[in-house]
Chain A
Amino acid sequence: MNVGECYLGWSTKDEVREKGASGGLVTSVLAAALEKGLVEKVLVLKKISEYDAEPIITDSVDEVLESAGSLHAVPVGLSKKLGLQLTRLGKKIATVGKPCDVRGMYEMALRDQINIDNTYIVGLNCGGTMPPILTRKMLREVYEIDPEEVVEEEIAKGELIFKTKDGKEIAKKIDELEEMGYGRRENCRYCFVKIPTNADLACGNWGVPKAKQGQATFVEVCSEKGIELLENAVNAGYIELESASEKGINARKKVEQAMIDLASKWREELLPSIPDEERLSFYIKELEDCIGCGACKTVCPVCACGDDSKCTTMISELDNHKISLYHLIRFLHIMDSCVACGMCTDVCPAEIKMSQLQARFSLPFQEEKEYVAGMTLEKPPFFEVR
Chain B
Amino acid sequence: MMAEEWEPKIVLFACNWCSYGGSDAAGVARFQQPPTTRIIRVMCSGRIDPAFVLEAFLEGADGVCVTGCHIGDCHYINGNEKTKVRYSFLERVVKELGIEPERLRLEWISASEGEKFANFVKQVTEDIKKLGPSPLKPEGVQ
Name A's B-contacting residues (CB within 8 A). 274, 276-280, 282-283, 310-311, 314, 319-323, 325, 328-329, 331-332, 335-336, 360-361, 364-365, 368, 382-383, 385-386
- Bound together, the chains give a CA A282 to CA B58 distance in angstroms of 16
A274 surroundings in chain B (CB, below 8 A): 98
How many Å from the CB of B105 to the closest CB on chain A?
Answer: 18
Contact indicator B138/A364 (Cβ below 8 Å): no
Q: Which A residues are in CB contact (< 8 Å) with B55?
A: 314, 325
Q: Are A320 and B93 in contact (CB under 8 A)?
A: no
Contact B136 A336 (CB under 8 A): no
Please determine whether A319 and B93 come into contact, CB atoms closer than 8 angstroms.
Answer: no
Inter-chain contact B99/A280, CB cutoff 8 Å: yes
Q: Are A336 and B51 in contact (CB under 8 A)?
A: no
Out of B58, B92, B138, B139, name the residue touching A365 (CB < 8 Å).
B92
Is B81 in contact with A310, judged by CB distance below 8 angstroms?
no
Chain B nearest Cβ from A370, distance in angstroms: 13
Task: Pick 9 A–B contacts, CB within 8 A, sort by A.
Answer: A274-B98, A319-B58, A320-B138, A322-B58, A325-B55, A329-B50, A332-B90, A361-B92, A368-B92
Bound complex: CA A365 to CA B90 (Å) = 11
| Chain B residues closer than 8 Å to A276, beta-carbon distance | 98
CB pair A328 B93 closer than 8 Å: yes
C-alpha gap A359/B28 in the complex (Å)? 49
Residues of B within 8 A of A280 (CB): 97-99, 135-136
Size category of the B interface is 20 to 34
Nearest-CB residue, chain B, relative to A276? B98
Interface string of B95-137 (1 = CB under 8 A from A): 0111100000000000000000000000000000000000111
Q: Given the known A-B contacts A276-B98, A321-B58, are A332 and B85 also in contact in the complex, defined by CB atoms under 8 Å?
A: no
Task: Return the chain B residue nearest A383 by Cβ.
Answer: B85
Contact A360–B96 (Cβ < 8 Å): yes
Q: Is there contact, CB below 8 Å, between A322 and B138? A: yes
CB distance B51 to A279 under 8 Å? no
- Cα of A282 to Cα of B135 in the assembled complex, Å: 13
CB-nearest residue of chain A to B79: A385
A332 to B93, CA, bound (A): 6
Instruction: Determine the residue in chain A with the shortest Cβ distance to B136.
Output: A322
Give the CA-CA distance A364 to B68 in the complex, in Å: 28
